[in-house]
Amino acid sequence: MKIIVLPGDGIGPEITEATTGVLRAASEAFQLGIEMEHDVVGLESFRLHGTTVKPELLDRVKAADGFVMGPTSTLDYKKGDAKQVGPSAFFRKGLDLFANIRPARTYAGMPARLGQFDLVVVRENTEGFYADRNMEAGNAEILVTPDVVVSLRKITRPACLRIARSAFELAGRRRNKVTAVHKANVLSVGDGMFLACCREVQKDFPEIELEEIIVDAMMAHVVRNPARFDVIVTTNMFGDILSDLTAEMSGSLGLGGSLNAGAETAMAQAAHGSAPDIAGQGIANPASLILSAALLLSWHGRRKGEPRYVEAGTAIEQAMADAIAAGECTRDIGGKLGTAAAGAAVAARLKR
């Protein structure tokens, strides 16, 4: 398996190094023959190449089996500068990475303020309220007058059908329940179509229950009783917000793994940002990116029909859970270790 590694900005290089250490240990333990090739995106790429993403990276990544990308400081990029595009949007759009898979679960050894739970948010990743990726050219936010803005939301049937299918397939490997989160009472045409697509796909999965919840009520339900949820499917912006909430509910945003998957390739990317406030201090939690890399291995294994990769992905998740239970983790989640040592603790468990 060939993986391209793009460390990104802020804490990106630190957590990426910890993650590649875990990938090397998994490769050895499960004889995966993982080859990693490093390149740059973000501010380092801008410094070296005059652009935050080299266009040729698209082909490089396509030729590999997947990639790991650290967070990028997109807020610091100059808006409207074609040489300072956000790498996430570039790859999600350029590679049609339509499914953002974001698991959230509680861990032994960490306080579970809302009870134990284990759920996955499946977020549509290519359209919705994301105005910067809704158009072939230009931006779907329009300044009509200096005081009037129109932001367009795009919802398409093919995108709804494929994200619904991803959710049902995932639920079939878990606890057979899909919750569709929507706002069809207000966005009756767009979210109405999203719901109709979920119902249509459900016909192919009669053993899987489909539940429908309005997004605002969902905030109460998920906080009140997260254990009742298995797979949650929703449109782009709702999923963005809900998955940060569920990651934080699991103990920390730094625990949320995230995979951006398309038909041909997938990007492992931490759910959090580049955390400039703690960059360079060696204290960032690498868990999110490590768990994202685990999702990438499992995705690859299922796609290629090679169970070793799925087993390696599961083993990384278990090693992470064991390390957290033993207190071998970073300070933000109650441990005492730095970034490198927290990564090494997971890697060491895989080698045992």
Using CB under 6 A, list all residues that contact ligand NAD: 11, 15, 71-76, 88, 253-254, 269, 272-278, 284-285, 288, 332
> How many CA atoms are closer than 13 Å to the CA of 114, on its beta-carbon side?
22
Nearer to ligand NAD, 209 or 332 (CB): 332
d(CA 349, CA 186): 49
Three-class SS state of 49: helix
Nearer to ligand NAD, 88 or 166 (CB): 88
CB of 226 to ligand NAD, least distance (A): 21
d(CA 153, CA 133): 10
CB of 336 to ligand NAD, least distance (A): 14
Sign of CA dihedral 289, 295, 298, 299: negative
Structure tokens at 347: 């890697």
Nearer to ligand NAD, 41 or 119 (CB): 41
Q: Are 223 and 248 in contact (CB under 8 A)?
A: no
Query: Closest Cα to residue 104, out of 312, 235, 272, 311?
Result: 272
* CB-based contacts of 147, cutoff 8 Å, min separation 6: none
d(CA 340, CA 167): 34
Nearer to ligand NAD, 6 or 195 (CB): 6
CB of 84 to ligand NAD, least distance (A): 12
CB of 107 to ligand NAD, least distance (A): 15
d(CA 260, CA 295): 10
Task: Work out the number of other CB atoms within 10 angstroms of the CB of residue 221.
Answer: 16
Nearer to ligand NAD, 284 or 310 (CB): 284
Nearer to ligand NAD, 70 or 301 (CB): 70
CB of 41 to ligand NAD, least distance (A): 10
CB of 112 to ligand NAD, least distance (A): 19
Q: Which strand (E) or helix (H) includes residue 210?
A: strand 209-214
